[in-house]
Amino acid sequence: MAGSTTSSVRPRIGVLALQGDFREHIASLTKLGADVAPLRRPEEIAALDGVVIPGGESSVMDKLSRAFGVAEPLAAAIRNGLPTYGTCAGMIMLSSRITDGISGQQTLDVLDTTVRRNAFGSQNDSFEVDVPMPELGDDPVHAVFIRAPVVEQHGPGVQVLGALADGQVVAVQQDNVLASAFHPEVAGEDRFHRRFLAMVRSA
């Protein structure tokens, strides 16, 4: 991975900033001591130690990432080991397969999951719930779901970090890729960002 030489002190993180709530992720990661910058151009990827793909509208994010030439080099970097965290639409972008995607919608295809878009309904059906996630500590994670996806299927290499009471999977990790269906950056929950930065520092 081609990252900054000072990554052990202040890892350089890019937050995909084509659409969505990238500002909240930038604020969360900056508070945790990372050197964070918006990611909009393919030539910016090589200098990064990690990438976050925020929530937003996954179909728009897909189109813009291809229009700006970011999608293919970003997918290649992730396959090559670049630590990556995706929330909500970011989870959809990372997944290999989409249920209920719009016509022509593509993904980065770096996470062996099948996700369903808008699994809980519209914006008006947004909700918050505490989800037990032993991997992140004894206290449950307060999860904010906004037009959120769920993981319907996943490959054997995917670790389930969190599921709702009915068994629907909402947080996973596969090697260098971390993803959640909800928005920790909205809830003020920093354990996912801390886990992501630990991945970056150990890469």
Q: Catalogue the active-site residues.
A: 88, 183, 185
User: What is the C-alpha to C-alpha distance for residues 61 and 55, in angstroms, rounded to an integer?
Assistant: 9
Tally Cβ neighbours within 10 Å of residue 175: 17
Helix 58-67 to helix 71-79 angle (10° resolution) is: 100
Structure tokens at 28: 């969360």
Residues 37 and 27: beta-carbon distance below 8 Å = no
Residues 131 and 170: beta-carbon distance below 8 Å = yes
Give CA 191 to chain center in angstroms.
13
User: What is the C-alpha to C-alpha distance for residues 23 and 130, in angstroms, rounded to an integer?
Assistant: 24
